[in-house]
Structure formats: C-alpha cells, structure tokens
Amino acid sequence: MVSAEDLPITLQGGEPSCHPDFIWIINHIRKELNIDILTNLNFDVDRFIDSVDSLRLKRTAPYPSIRISYHPHYMDLDTLIEKVLKMQRANFSIGIFGILHPEFEEEILNARKRCQDLGVDFRTKEFLGRYDNKLYGTYFYEGAVGSNKRKRCLCRTSELIIGPEGEIFRCHHDLNKNFPPIGNLLDSHFEIEDVFRECDQFGDCNPCDIKVKTNRFQIYGHTSVEIKDIKEI
C-alpha cells in the first residue's frame, strides 16, 4: 500500500472501539502510517492509555487525531470531559465535535463554551438534512439534496467509498441505499479509476458528498464530488 505522507488511516464506524481487537489493530498498523480515530470514547481510557503510545496518534495537522462525536441525548458531558482531560494529560491529541442540530444547538454551544473554558478542543459542524420540513446545510450544487425530482449527470468523487465487504461504490448515496457497487477491493482485476460516471440520482444526493466543508488542511470550500452535464430525465 502506498500512502501520502500526511494522509492517515482513519478508524471509524459505527464505533471502532467495539471491535474486540481495537487496540491490537492500532498497535499493529505499519509504523510509518499515521492513524486517526473517530469515536464516542465509550471505552476504557485507562486501558487505552496503558496500551497505546500517544505518539502513535499524533501528527502535524490542524485538528486532533482522536475526534469524538458528542451526542447530548446519549452522552453525559461530565463523564466525557473527565475522560478527555485524562487523555490530554497522557499527551494524546484529542478533541470533541458537535453537530449544530436545531433541536440541540443551544446545548451544543453551551457544551462548547464549557469545554473551551477547561482547555478542551470543542468544534462544531453544521447540521445536514431536513428538520421540521426545512432543509439545513450548505451544499455545493443547488437542487442536489432533498429534491423530489431526479436528474441525470456525470459525477466524479475524490474519495474511495468502501463497503463492509470490500465493495467500492460511486458515492455515499449508493453505499447507504444499497445500489450496486462498481467493484470490489478483493477482485484482483478491479482497478480504481478517477473518472466521471453516469448517474440518474441527482436530487437525492447524500449530504456528505455534496456539502461545502473544509478539506484535510482545514481550508473551507471543499466538496467531495465534482458534477457536470446535469440534465432533465
């Protein structure tokens, strides 16, 4: 496998720590490869600290290597902050991220203020999708998300979308809605191609593909896909 020097292997899910070999996997990834973890931190942090070298999860990047998704209706903030501070004291690169969902926005902002006062990195992301019949989010292509009308287009993704069985998909829409894959990593004849592919699902795009976001250098204005030749069906 060839990897860019600053490109990490990201362990995510679901919740990656649910895997029985979670710590073993971290400790056995090739040393020259960077590692990021997306987690809810619902695991034994004392065991993690004792078993994993903090330098293994630290690199030059504008965001923490361990990124926690904070869900106020499922998680206790006091417990989460205590665990994060413990990992910070053990020199782990760690921070919390919260989605500004309209129902929980005030709670998320209060949690951010509290964390920042304690020296905990807490960042927010905008909510994507519909809530109370209103579409939220900033999208690169108008009409790509939440439309009742479908259009044809040519689309090219900058991401490699891999399913749980090694299937390769055109986009997150196809992955989440069980559309046929374009190949499988285990197929020795499959080749990854950076090409535009035909699609007739414009209007029902997955928000993760279409949203305007920061790239891996935290520069705002990036989107995961490039779409052209949008036409009526």
pLDDT in the model for residue 3: 54
Over the stretch 92-111, which tens digit does the pLDDT of each residue have? 999 999 999 999 999 999 99
User: At which of 127, 161, 176 does a domain end?
Assistant: 127
Interstrand relation of 197-202 and 151-157 (parallel, antiparallel or unpaired) = antiparallel
**Using 50, 70 and 90 to split pLDDT, how confident is the model at 229?**
very high
Length of the chain equals 233
Over the stretch 15-64, which tens digit does the pLDDT of each residue have? 999 999 999 999 999 998 999 999 999 999 999 999 999 999 988 888 89
Query: Which of 161 and 89 is assigned the larger pLDDT?
Result: 89
Over the stretch 154-205, which tens digit does the pLDDT of each residue have? 999 998 888 888 899 999 999 999 999 999 989 989 888 899 999 999 999 9
121 and 148 fall within a common domain: no
pLDDT in the model for residue 47: 97
pLDDT in the model for residue 21: 95
203 and 108 fall within a common domain: no
**Using 50, 70 and 90 to split pLDDT, how confident is the model at 221?**
confident
User: At which of 127, 150, 181 does a domain end?
Assistant: 127
Long-range contacts of 126-133, Cβ-Cβ distance < 8 Å, separation of 24 or more: 126/99, 126/100, 126/211, 127/99, 127/100, 127/101, 127/102, 128/207, 128/208, 128/211, 129/207, 131/101, 131/102, 131/103, 132/102
Domain that holds residue 26: 1-127
pLDDT in the model for residue 69: 96
Has residue 6 got a pLDDT over 80?
no
**Using 50, 70 and 90 to split pLDDT, how confident is the model at 215?**
confident
84 and 37 fall within a common domain: yes
- DSSP code at position 12: -
87 and 139 fall within a common domain: no
11 and 96 fall within a common domain: yes
Rounded to an integer, what distance in angstroms lies between the CA atom of residue 223 and that of residue 194?
16
Over the stretch 136-156, which tens digit does the pLDDT of each residue have? 999 999 999 989 999 999 999
68 and 180 fall within a common domain: no
pLDDT in the model for residue 162: 86
Helices marked H in 90-182 — which ranges?
Answer: 105-117, 172-176
Over the stretch 113-138, which tens digit does the pLDDT of each residue have? 999 999 999 999 999 888 998 989 99
**Displacement of CA 61 from its chain's centroid (Å):** 16
